């Protein structure tokens, strides 16, 4: 008779509670069992001592007699130090993105890294420039700026104003005369 150490479900709907039982593998999940060796309550926090309660002596006896633990029970027993941790097989890769999508993701990451590097470089330059500015006296740059601003403001400000003054009257006079002349001719006819 093939004997298994497995979980038998109990509890209410959406409130599971399991008994750890030794049962014939051909029996129903919640059916007749040979021996109950513990309980498992998944509703409790993972660090709780009451989450998994198992009589380790009985579990060792049944394993010695040839009972095979289910995958979940073998994990519980490995956590308790009774047996070695089971080998978990590698999962399929169907859920991963395809080759082109992976290339796009890699390209997007490279762009983000380049943008971050570009954003960090000006900050580094500003940090280097600030100590150099701090070393000079505060009065000299203000005096130089004051001298430079009037000279720069005076020259560019005068030239465009003179050009604008010359251009505007000529433009204003011509369009104003032409429509009046055209209107006068239209009224005469």
What pLDDT, in 10s, does the model give residues 135-167? 555 555 554 455 555 544 445 444 555 444 454
pLDDT at 6 over 70: yes
This prediction's pTM: 0.48
- 18-52, pLDDT tens digit by residue? 999 999 999 999 999 999 999 999 999 999 999 99
The pLDDT confidence band at residue 120, using thresholds 50, 70 and 90, is: confident
Which segment, 9-13, 114-118, 153-157, 167-171, is predicted with the most confidence on average?
9-13
Q: Which residues pair with 10 in a beta bridge?
A: 17
The confidence score (pLDDT) of residue 179 equals: 57
Residues sharing a CB contact under 8 Å with residue 19, sequence separation 6 or more, in sequence order: 7, 8, 10, 33, 36, 38, 39, 40
59-70: average pLDDT:
94
Average pLDDT, the chain: 78
The confidence score (pLDDT) of residue 163 equals: 47
| 151, 154, 159, 164 alpha-carbon torsion, rounded to 10° | 150
As a whole-number percent, the residues of the chain with pLDDT over 70 amount to 64
pLDDT at 77 over 60: yes
The confidence score (pLDDT) of residue 83 equals: 87
Give the residue, 147 or 108, on which the prediction is more confident.
Answer: 108
The pLDDT confidence band at residue 1, using thresholds 50, 70 and 90, is: confident
Residue 36 half-sphere exposure, CB side, CA atoms within 13 Å? Answer: 11
Give the residue, 89 or 68, on which the prediction is more confident.
Answer: 68
Buried b (16+ CB within 10 A) or exposed e, 31-61: eebbeebbbbeeeeeeeeeeebebeeebbee
Query: Distance (Å, rounded) from C-alpha 90 to C-alpha 152?
Result: 73
Residue 176 half-sphere exposure, CB side, CA atoms within 13 Å? Answer: 6
């Amino acid at each position: 008779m093939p004997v298994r150490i497995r979980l038998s479900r109990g509890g209410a709907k959406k409130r599971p509670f399991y008994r750890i039982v030794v049962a014939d593998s051909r029996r129903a999940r919640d059916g007749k069992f040979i021996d109950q060796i513990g309980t498992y309550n998944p509703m409790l926090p993972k660090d709780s001592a009451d989450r998994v309660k198992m009589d380790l002596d009985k579990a060792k006896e049944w394993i010695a007699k040839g009972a095979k633990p289910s995958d979940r029970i073998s994990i519980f027993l490995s956590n308790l130090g009774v047996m070695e941790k089971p080998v978990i097989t590698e999962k399929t890769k169907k859920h991963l993105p395809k080759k082109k999508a992976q290339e796009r993701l890699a390209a997007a990451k490279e762009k983000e890294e380049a943008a971050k590097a570009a954003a960090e470089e000006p900050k580094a330059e500003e940090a280097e420039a600030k100590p150099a500015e701090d070393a000079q006296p505060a009065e000299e740059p203000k005096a130089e700026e004051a001298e430079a601003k009037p000279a720069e403001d005076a020259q560019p400000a005068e030239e465009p104003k003179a050009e604008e003054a010359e251009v505007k009257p000529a433009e204003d006079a011509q369009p104003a005369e032409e429509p009046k002349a055209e209107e006068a001719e239209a009224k005469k006819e």
